[in-house]
Amino acid sequence: MDPALGVTGPQDLVPLVPVPTDGRRVMIGIVGPPGAGKSTVAGALATLDPGAWAQVPMDGFHLADAELTRQGLLDRKGAPETFDAHGYAILLVRLRSRPDHPVYAPAFERALEQPLANALAVPPSASFVVTEGNYLLLDRPGWRDARQQLDEVWFVDLDADVRRRRLVDRHVRFGKPPGDAEEWVQRVDEPNAALVDATRDAADRILDVSGWRIG
């Protein structure tokens, strides 16, 4: 694994992307703890050439609140067991096979805090797919299968204090009172972050985004 690479914007990502060969679709995963800037980096990749790239977030595989309530997991939303990891892996298998028809993927609507089925279309013409999420390197059933479909996984690294402040701000922006936002970050997000940080050494690249204006 290469040393951490400082990236300050989309232009720094261009030379890192593998070149597709023989019509094969390149699949890149962006991983990192909550609030690190995964969506920013994935979005920057997807806009390098919108005709060639498609972005498919892991967050579309959040279990709906009704199912989390049924399982008694609503107060742990965001932990690995609150996602459909096997469904996510199967979607990546379909995307890697590059069928001659669009593949529809779910998205996650933060304003609703719910997944939206079939919200994203990945056309056959997309030569690159970028997917981002916390658990792409987690050595557990479902997540292992997802990792096998990715050509490379890049770990997004950001100062922990900055990341936590961004998380609190995000929760407040989407409706939590400040005190509840702080409590959620400490009780839910930070244990998840520790779990993700433990997978850092399994990444193909480490991206230091401290010089990138995210948020």
Residue 191, domain member (yes or no): yes
Residue 37, domain member (yes or no): yes
pLDDT at 38: 94
Residue 1 has pLDDT above 90, yes or no: no
Residue 133, domain member (yes or no): yes
Could you report the per-residue pLDDT of 19-73, keeping only the tens digit for each?
A: 988 889 999 999 999 999 999 999 999 999 999 999 999 999 999 999 999 999 9
Residue 95, domain member (yes or no): yes
Burial class (CB in 10 A: 0-12, 13-18, 19+), 152: middle
Region 190-205: what's the mean pLDDT? Answer: 96
Q: How many domains does the chain have?
A: 1
Please state the pTM of the whole predicted model.
Answer: 0.93
Residue 213, domain member (yes or no): no
Which CATH number do you get for residue 180? 3.40.50.300
pLDDT at 121: 97
Could you report the per-residue pLDDT of 82-92, keeping only the tens digit for each?
A: 999 999 999 99
Residue 77, domain member (yes or no): yes
| Enclosing domain of residue 195 | 5-15+24-208
| Calpha distance 30→74 (Å, rounded) | 25
Residue 42, domain member (yes or no): yes
**Residue-averaged pLDDT of the chain:** 93
Residue 215, domain member (yes or no): no
